[in-house]
Amino acid sequence: MIRGLYTACSGMMLQMTRQDVLANNLANVNTAGYKKDTVISQEFPSLLLKRMGETTRQGSLPRPVKPQDIGSLGTGAAVHQIVTDHSTGSYKATENPFDLALGPDCYFSIETPEGVRYTRNGSFTVDSDGMLVNTNGLPVLGTDGYIYIDGDFVVDEHGNLVQDGVTIDTLDIVRFPDQAGLMKIGDDLYAAGDQVPEPPDDPQVIQGYLESSNVNAVKEMVDLITVVRAYEVMQKVVQAEDQTLDRLINSAGSR
């Protein structure tokens, strides 16, 4: 019975993590460049149940019966890992020259207090000093450092910023050998970890467009309902186990 409580509770904890991840995906359904997360679960080692202790007779002598396999018994589940789906979202026209979209597998470089971080969210603007920044006011990096813009400009498909026919800077756009190794740190930013960013052959920059989130809101809502139902089922298992233990303890104590 105690094992049943642990098994059901482990399932409840797993569903709580799934619910948190799904809720975060839904909260960012309109965040440009956001990539959805998915929870991968794993089971605890299963127990092999055998039927033992039976005997048979050969003449007048008892003989043990070879143990027979009954089957396996699950002992619960846990979160194995949370993986990010890096598939490219759809592109939406905004007609804002500060909005930029990238081709697959490419990232803008952003300067943060903790160092350079990376994003696919190309919703930029300029601050009071004319510096190109993201929605949180963090500098967008070019190959020459911070980017300052004064007046109209054009960004070509290679990330070159052109004013009056002169290239003033080039966006620092990178790619990574293994996108699965990128770590989300919040605010739609990624840390590279031990990976060394590489320059992409063709960043495919599109000015006046933003990449939409790759979250399918309808699917996430359906998955969220499924998670809530699974949690409720395991909650009822815990209640049933608790009632059984209560009866057992009270019955044993009254005799």
- What are the average pLDDT values for consecutive 10-residue runs of the chain, which has 255 residues? 79 94 95 95 76 71 74 79 94 95 95 95 94 95 93 93 92 93 92 92 94 96 96 90 79 64
- In this structure, what are the phi and psi dihedrals at residue 6, rounded to the nearest 5 degrees? -65, -40
Tokens for 22?
């799904």
Q: Going by C-beta distance under 8 Å and a sequence separation of 6 or more, which residues neighbour residue 231?
A: 12, 15, 16, 19
Predicted local distance difference test score (pLDDT) of residue 159:
94
Tell me the pTM: 0.80
CA dist 117 → 18, 36, 186, 198 (Å): 27, 18, 11, 14
- Give the span between the Cα atoms of 126 and 147, in whole angstroms: 9
Amino acid at 209: Y
pLDDT at residue 51 in the model: 74
The SS3 of residue 233 is helix
Distance CA 138, CA 210 (A): 18
Report strand pairing: 173-174 vs 107-112: antiparallel
CA angle 248, 250, 254 (to 5 degrees): 120
* Cα 213 to Cα 35, 163, 194, distances in angstroms: 6, 31, 26
Cα–Cα–Cα angle for 123, 95, 166, rounded to 5 degrees: 80
Strands 77-84 and 154-155: unpaired
d(CA 62, CA 74): 34
- Which pLDDT score is estimated for 34? 95
pLDDT at 255: 59
